[in-house]
Amino acid sequence: MFLEVRELSFGYGNMLIPSLRGLSFGIEKGEIVGIVGPSGSGKSTLLRLIAGFERPLEGSIVLDGITVAAKDVYVPPESRNVGMVFQDYGLFPHMTVRKNIEFGLRRLKGEERAMRANEMLAMAQMENFPSRYPYELSGGQQQRVSLMRALAPRPRLLLLDEPFSNLDADLREIMCKDVKTILEKEKITCLFVSHDQRDVNAVCSRIITQTY
Amino acid sequence: MKRKILVFLSICAFSLTCASVALAASPEVNVYSARHYEIDEVLYNNFTKETGIKVNVISGNAPELVERIKREGERSPADLFMTVDGGVLNSAKVAGILQPTSSPVIDAAVPAHLKDKDGYWVGLTTRARIIVYSKERVKPEQLSTYEDLADPKWKGKITVRSSAAMYDQSLLATLIALDGEDKAFEWARGIVNNLARAPQGNDRDQAKAIAAGISDVCLMNTYYIGQMLNSKDPEEVKAAEKVSIFFPNQKTTGTHLNISGAGLVKNSPNKENAIKLVEFLLDLPQQRLLSSANYEYPVNPAAETAPLLKSWGTDFKTQMLDFAIYGENNIKAIQVFNKGGWK
Amino acid sequence: MKRSFSCIRNPWIFTHRLSVVSVSLPFIFLAIQAAAPANENWLHIRGWLLQTYVLDTLLLTLSGVFIASMIGVPLAWITCLFAFPGKYFIEWALVLPLAIPPYISAYIYYHLMGYTGGFQAGLRTFLGLDVNRFGFDIPPMPFAVFIFAVTLFPYVYLIVKAFLKHQSASLYENTRLLGRGAWSSFFGVFLPLMAPSIAGGATLVAFEILSDFGVTSHFGIHTFSTAIFSAWFGMSDADSAAKMSVMLLGAVFTLAAFNKLAQRTLKYRIVSSKERALLPRIPSRRVGLACTFFCVLVLLFSVIIPVGQLFSWLTLSWNQELLPRLWQNARNIVSSALAATSCTMILAVGTVNATRLFPSKPNLALAQFATIGYSVPGAVLAMGVISLFSFISRAGASFGIHDLFDISRTTAMLIFAYAVRFFAIGYHAVESGFSKVGNIYGEAARTLGAGPSETFFRVEMPLIRNAIISGFVLVFVDIMKELPLTMILRPFNFNTLGTSVYDFAKNEIMEEIALPAILIIAVCAAFIAIASLLDKSYSAARPEVRRGER
């Protein structure tokens, strides 16, 4: 198993009922797995736990053979090498498209960095607008840039949190295809969370259904 | 690494101005002063010119300075504590921040009743708290004593400062000593009954109240009238010209005198320089300057009094009380004010 | 790298602890020294004075806060809603009262309304009218309330305006579409929405009034601050002072708790981030002129009259020889204020970020605790700071380091005290900046491999830049206006513009305060102006930042 989640429980401080209880599943390398469930069922929380924004109450998360979260073990997000695409994209508003993509590449040398960024810009079909600011982009463009930004540092695992929820229906279909193509081309392991079965069907190879 | 940068930045910012005040190696004397008069600065400069000793000053309110010296403890750099009001001088002595001192020059310059009986402080100038009255509406014959102001005949004709004012606290402290606490309480209540308005403002505002026709009489320190008459603000001069002054209690206990003085601090690191500065301030030219610039009475009997003060007469009778009384009765005075309703 | 989450080695937690310790130490030293046996003085205070203190403090604070809100809220409302004539200048000018220390305003108005002041002298000279004959006299309490209202309302105005700017236009449009008039939409919809920000501004005003010494002592109003002061330093009764300090702190914490409660229960999350912002529209001529008139009236009393009086004094007292000395005084206070403000903001930013990175209950509570320096009387804090530094200096001497904090020669003590006192202002400014930005950018940066510090410096700091700048300006301006700490903690020969004003006022030579007072106001106004220019140019050049901040 590339990602292994064992008996994971989590609850926010002021809630009596935990938002996740004893969840276990695994993902193989290169798999694109979707998690479907109504809003409030703890899907986003699961992603936040895997990314390292929250620490689980119980259970453990093992990524590529390394335990990143368990009792007494906590690897901070920046050391997990996990990429994430947020529902609201989270593009840095004070940086251009190129700067956004280059943000995760600071370990690379100048030339390599530029090359990788160009590659990503091309895949995002943004090669003509590298110096635009996020607010100057359409929703679909923002979506693609944020995906490329997450992919640029070659994360071991990519997390997608409702990435299409802000797009209209037509664009959504196109984006689903684009994303699938890109993910397969980059051979990336991916966990995709959505409340919409269609999105997940279009992108994922395996589906886990999460209930309350 | 970022932490180091952060710590470094904090230290830089902190030391930026700390370092701007360099350590001085030349001869100096450190003065903590609650005298807030501009003429003092001139005198310090003259002292430095004459002796080469630099005068470092921290000025502030007297109780705070006393508290600061106390808390600085044996490492306090203070040499000289200067303030106005006998009560405050006494409280500094009681607080244990002063040490006795004497020198032939000081002994010769200052009469015995204008310095501490144990030598903890020595007077620099004096001022009288007098009755100021409306030239239009009051005849001097109607005035006699502080005590008389509590008489119902002055109902609605007096204005005073708030009881937080040190000068009135000291006046009341002496009345407690002279007339007893019960009489003093009656007096405070009598004054409150006679007030034309709630206690407020500073000394000058009381004279302005008379000029404005709000009241007919008030209590003021002598030098404020002098300063008003010589103000740059023509309206102030006009107001001061509408009033006149009266030295009360001439036939009884004498006019209330207050004092400004200096005391040598207990752990003074520059004791000799401090004594030199005091002697300098008591010398005739400086005493004359203090009087002429600030309208205070010099403590050195040989020094020339300002012409304006002379024109008011300098041979008035004063309360012959130990200034220590001002401090000893201070809390009683505050309590009497509170009980009497003098806000 | 995993170890970086241990408390001591993490720079943010380090800063957080540093702030907490810095603020607590003076109070610990105060507590040690306040442990004196009870005496009969306390009975006297309780019997004769306490009731007055409580009532006067309550009356002054509540009416001051009320009037300041009555001025601040409508101003914020009309400047956000209407593009009335002169709006752009007025909107900026309405911050200027912050540059005028309340005690200077008090001196000025007291003089102005007094017998020799411009008002009465004018009536006498031109109309031959002597209003005193009709018993003209302003009682101290309403006078003080007026002074606090006209000098402190910008706190309410600024905070409410910042809130309204982030409201969506559709909210207002909908209330109008649903058949409500402008008034009704104000009282029915926006007032409840504004309640948390009004509470925030009002709390700041209340703190300022509670800890004031200059205005209340000038008008002879006995509040807790003046009472603590006179009990401690007037009657040397530390015990009673400590008792009253505890009462005051109790009041302050209650106030802070109320504010927190208001923020929590009254806060309605504005759902979407993609709404159009509330933009001012052009009102009818009548409404527009009414708005302009109201603003000008406020400006008249808060800025124009006081500054005008200062300039008229200046013509009486102008003296070129004073300039070099005042120049030196100005340099003293500006450099100390800059150093102290930098320290304060570094501590504030570090502390807020630490509570975001490690939002445990103790961390949040400690950070809240560190803001109490703002609410105690300056003189009381000053005594704690002296005790602390004397202790350090003695400890240094016993280890043979004799020049460690030679406290009367450096401004270290003063700068430290400023930082402790005004930490709260910087903290709240940074906190509100962070809460507008939210967590998403920080989290995105973390998944891209940036550690907490890099995330802060590269992503979050640029986004909360405006909040940091406005915190910086508020702290700086407050230090420029500060009096008790400066008076008590300054080193030798260290005079500031504020102490010059105080000296002249104490000597009752009002016309001489003109020059230093004008310089204080000018420096503060310049800072406010630069900050608002920076803010404007930054936002104008990069509209995405404004969007991002929503």
> Token pair for residue A38?
């109504």
Res C543: pLDDT: 43
Name the 3-class secondary structure at B84: strand
pLDDT tens string C370-393:
888 887 778 778 888 888 888 888
Task: For residues A128-137, give the mean pLDDT.
Answer: 87
pLDDT higher than 50, residue C550: no
Give the SS3 label for residue A106: coil
Same domain? A71 vs A101: no
pLDDT band at C60 (very low <50, low <70, confident <90, very high): very high
Q: Is the pLDDT of residue C274 over 50?
A: no
CA A142, A144, A147, A150 dihedral sign is negative
Nearest-Cα distance to chain C for B17, in Å, is 6
> Do C and B make contact, counting contact as 3+ CB pairs within 8 angstroms?
yes
C449: nearest CB among A51, A134, A153: A153
Q: Are residues A12 and A74 in the same domain?
A: yes
The phi-psi region of residue C438 (left if phi > 0; otherwise alpha if psi is between -120 and 50; otherwise beta) is: left
Give long-range contacts, CB 8 A cutoff, 24+ apart: A19-22: A19/A45, A20/A45, A20/A46, A20/A49, A20/A56, A22/A58, A22/A59
Q: What is the CATH number of the domain that holds C409?
A: 1.10.3720.10
Q: What is the mean pLDDT of residues B271-287?
A: 94
Choosing from A154, A172, A193, the residue where a domain stops is: A154
CB contact under 8 A, C339 and B13: yes
**What is the number of CB-based contacts under 8 A between chain A and chain C?**
92
State how far residue C121 is from chain B, nearest Cα, in angstroms.
Answer: 8
Task: Tell me: pLDDT of C397 over 80.
Answer: no
Interchain CB distance below 8 Å, B6 and C11 = yes
What's the rounded Cα separation, in Å, for the pair C220 and B198?
Answer: 9
Tell me which H or E stretch contains B99: strand B98-99
The verdict on C382 touching B (C-beta cutoff 8 Å) is yes
| B98-99 and B121-134 beta bridge pairing | unpaired
Q: Is C9 on the interface with A (CB under 8 A)?
A: no
Same domain, A159 and A77: yes
What does the pLDDT look like over C495-527, one tens digit per residue?
Answer: 899 988 888 887 778 888 899 999 999 999 999
Residues 6+ apart with CB under 8 A from A47: A84, A159, A161, A191, A193
- pLDDT at res. C271: 40
Please state, in angstroms and rounded to a whole number, the distance separating the CA atoms of residues C475 and C461.
Answer: 18
Predicted pLDDT at C276: 59
A34 HSE (CA, 13 A, CB side): 20
Of A53, A94, A104, nearest to C463 by CB-CB distance is A94
Closest Cα in chain B to C11: B3
CB pairs under 8 A between B and C: 193
Mean pLDDT of chain B: 88
Q: Is there a domain that residue A87 lies in?
A: no
Of the ranges B129-138, C335-344, C457-466, which one carries the lowest mean pLDDT score?
Answer: C457-466
The answer for A 4-43 residues in CB contact with C (under 8 A) is none
A111 in a structural domain: yes
Mean pLDDT is lowest, of B73-77, C274-278, C310-314, C372-376, for C274-278
Kindly state whether residues A5 and A97 are assigned to the same domain.
no
User: What's the pLDDT tens digit per position in C455-484?
Assistant: 999 999 988 888 899 899 989 999 998 888
C392 part of contact set with chain B, CB < 8 Å? no
Name all chains with 3 or more CB-CB pairs below 8 Å to chain A. Answer: C
Torsion sign across C-alpha atoms A47, A52, A54, A56 = positive
pLDDT at C544 over 80: no
Query: Does C263 map to a domain?
Result: yes
pLDDT at residue B90 is higher than 50: yes
Distance CA B217, CA B166 (A): 20
Do A3 and A73 fall into the same domain? Answer: yes
pLDDT at B87 over 80: yes
Nearest residue to C425 via CA among C384, C480, C386: C480
Question: Looking at residues B327-343, what average pLDDT do you find?
Answer: 88
Q: Are C447 and A136 a contacting pair at CB < 8 A?
A: no
Is there a domain that residue C1 lies in? no
**How many Cα atoms sit within 13 Å of C391 on the Cβ side?**
13
**CATH tag for B127-255+325-340 (out of 1.25.40.10, 3.40.190.10, 3.40.50.970, 3.20.20.70):** 3.40.190.10
The yes-or-no verdict on residue B161 having pLDDT over 60 is yes
Last residue of a domain, one of A107, A127, A154: A154
Asked if B95 has any chain C CB less than 8 Å from its own CB, the reply is yes
* Architecture of the B27-126+257-307 domain: 3-Layer(aba) Sandwich (3.40)
Say yes or no: A32 and A51 in one domain: yes
Topology match between the domains B27-126+257-307 and B127-255+325-340: yes
Residues 50-89 of C with CB under 8 A from B: none
Are B21 and C316 within 8 A, CB to CB?
A: no
pTM: 0.84
Confidence of residue C259 (pLDDT cuts 50, 70, 90): confident
Nearest CA in chain C to B65: C488
Convert the pLDDT of each residue in A75-97 to its tens digit: 888 888 899 998 888 888 888 99
Question: A69 and A8 share a domain?
Answer: yes
Model confidence band, residue C6 (pLDDT cutoffs 50, 70, 90): very low
Domain match, A66 and A4 both: yes
Which of B93-112 are b and which e, b meaning 16 or more Cβ less than 10 Å from the residue's Cβ? bebebbeebeeeebeebbee
Query: Is it the case that residue C163 has pLDDT exceeding 50?
Result: yes
Q: Closest by alpha carbon to B88, among B245, B249, B258? A: B258
Q: Given pLDDT bands bounded at 50, 70 and 90, which one contains residue C1?
A: very low
Q: Region B11-38: what's the mean pLDDT? A: 68
Chains that touch C (3 or more CB pairs under 8 A): A, B
| Percentage of chain C exceeding pLDDT 70 | 85
Q: Spell out the SS3 assignment of B193-250.
A: HHECCCCCCCHHHHHHHHHCCCCCEEEEEHHHHHHHHCCCCHHHHHHHHCEEEECCCC
* Percent of chain B with pLDDT strictly greater than 70: 93
Q: Are residues A144 and A160 in the same domain?
A: no
Q: Is residue C33 scored above 80 in pLDDT? A: no
Residue B184 has pLDDT above 60, yes or no: yes
Instruction: Let me know if chains B and A touch, i.e. at least 3 Cβ pairs under 8 angstroms.
Output: no
- Do residues A117 and A20 both lie within one domain? no
Domain that holds residue C171: 11-315+325-549
The reply to whether A86 falls in a domain is no
User: A102 lies in which domain range?
Assistant: 93-154
Chain A residue closest to C455 (CA)? A78
The label of the residue with tokens 């450096």 reads C410
Handedness of CA C489, C491, C492, C493 (dihedral sign): negative
pLDDT, mean of residues B315-324: 89
What would the pLDDT profile of B242-261 be if each residue is shown by its tens digit?
Answer: 999 999 999 999 999 999 99
Contacts of C408 in chain B (CB under 8 A): 30, 58, 72, 76-78
Partner-chain contact B17 C115, CB within 8 Å: no
Extents of the domains making up chain B: 27-126+257-307, 127-255+325-340
pLDDT in tens, B213-241: 889 999 999 999 999 998 888 888 999 99
Look at A170-184, B4-18, C147-161 and tell me which has the smallest mean pLDDT. B4-18
Same domain? For A74 and A5 the reply is: yes
Which of C14, C406, C508 is nearest residue B3 as measured by Cβ atoms? C14
A34-48, A74-88, C245-259, range with the lowest pLDDT: C245-259
Query: For residue A17, is pLDDT > 70?
Result: no
Regarding predicted confidence, which is higher, A124 or B113? B113
Q: Does C463 touch chain A (CB under 8 A)?
A: yes
In a domain, C350, yes or no: yes
Q: Say if residue C493's pLDDT is above 60.
A: yes
Total domains, chain A: 2
Looking at the structure of chain C, the number of domains it has is 1
Reported confidence tier of residue C133, pLDDT bands at 50, 70, 90? low
Give pLDDT tens digits for A158-172: 999 888 877 777 778
- Give CA–CA dist B294/B282, Å, rounded: 15
Boundary (domain end) residue, out of A133, A154, A175: A154
